[in-house]
Amino acid sequence: MIPFIMKPAYRFGAQTPWGGRALKDMFGKDAPDDRTGESLEVSALPGLESRDPSGRTLSELAARYGQSLTGTRAAGAFPLLLKLLDARERLSVQVHPDNAYASRREGKLGKTEAWLILNAEPDAELIYGLASGVDAERLRGELARMGEPGAAGRIEACFNSVPVKPGDVFYIPAGTVHAIGAGIALYEIQQSSDVTYRLWDGMRRDSDGRLRELHIDRALDVIQPPPACSALSGVSVPDGVNVRTVYIANEYFALERLSVRGAMRQTGDRGSFAMLTALGGGALAGGGFELSVRPGDTALVPADAPQFDIIGELDVIKSYVPDRRALCAELGGRACGVAGLLSD
């Protein structure tokens, strides 16, 4: 099988009241309206599946081609979900459970994810973890009084805010309190799960005047401190004029940035598919095929794809299911600089 460009599904309108126009303006996405918050580039979520150029859903492709598409390390259903997001307004403050909790309470997978900032307005911030000295019980007490005068300010003070700029990468394991701030567009890679517990939404109301549902008890059950409170540096691996930077390689996904200045070789990996999101124009070529890519395109590379080159002057975000033992061996003593790589 050769790589192909995925056609995204979209979440928009009342589903993403915080969304905007950035996906259309930055990448020419066929966004349904001016409140389009998410372009689900590679998705097997029911009702929100991305499709190949012939219109087949990702689930249909995985069922038909099996390990030829997904690889030997991606057993069962397609394991990852890749999105581009635009936050015109701040999202709700939320947290995701791990697999054990989500399976027990929801009958689903948990969600560990990561973000790479694509664009950020001046002074844009994320919420990432709880503020110093705040624990889940203090937060519970503040949320219990959310209707009182001054409560909103006290609740907001419980969260840790982090300034962001384009290129920053943040690792968000299950249990990490987080929220995307206003004026941010980002790339998100995550487990294929839609389980989200909303902690706080700033008393925001929908078009009918109703407050959005919160899931405070379950959210407080699963809160864990984040592994760090700043953007990741990653580990850079030069290859001539090209640079590959590895940021994350946990048991679910790896996240890398490929800075291509001419041509960068991609060798086959029968262990996993790969997802390549172009941040500039270029091409994938080799093995008897050539595929043009535009900024914002995501190519799905099947596990049995032939060797090929990424061609052009562009950066590409790459996600896949890693062979962590092999990556540790490749990086040697620098493996400690990759988030999640040395954890159990």
Please give the pLDDT value at position 344: 66
Length, in residues, of the chain: 344
Domain boundaries, the chain: 4-222, 235-337
Please give the pLDDT value at position 229: 77
Please give the pLDDT value at position 244: 98
Task: State how far the Cα of 275 lies from the Cα of 203, in Å rounded to an integer.
Answer: 37
Query: Is the full-model pTM beyond 0.85?
Result: yes
Is residue 265 annotated as part of the catalytic site, yes or no? no
Please give the pLDDT value at position 317: 98
**Within its chain, how far is the Cα of 274 from the centroid?**
14
On whether the 4-222 domain is CATH 2.60.40.10, my answer is: no
Residues ≥6 apart with Cβ < 8 Å to 60 = none
Backbone torsions φ then ψ of 115, nearest 5 degrees: -125, 140
Cα dihedral sign for 261, 3, 84, 199?
A: negative
Block means of pLDDT (10 residues each) for the chain, length 344 residues?
A: 97 94 95 96 97 97 95 89 97 97 96 98 96 93 91 95 97 97 98 95 78 92 88 95 98 98 93 97 95 98 96 98 96 96 84
Please give the pLDDT value at position 205: 75
Please give the pLDDT value at position 202: 86
Q: Which of 198, 218, 257, 324 is catalytic?
A: 198
CB atoms within 10 A of CB 176: 22
**Architecture field, domain 235-337:** Sandwich (2.60)
Please give the pLDDT value at position 211: 81
Does 4-222 match 235-337 in CATH topology?
yes
Q: 3-class DSSP state for residue 242?
A: strand
Furthest C-alpha separation in the chain: 67
DSSP 247-303: EEE-SS-EEEEEEEEEEEEE---TT--EEEEESS-EEEEETTEEEEE-TT-EEEE-T
Task: State how far the Cα of 132 lies from the Cα of 198, in Å rounded to an integer.
Answer: 21
Residues ≥6 apart with Cβ < 8 Å to 260 = 242, 282, 310, 311, 312, 313, 314, 315, 316
Please give the pLDDT value at position 227: 82
DSSP 301-315: E-TTPPPEEEEEEEE
**Within its chain, how far is the Cα of 240 from the centroid?**
29
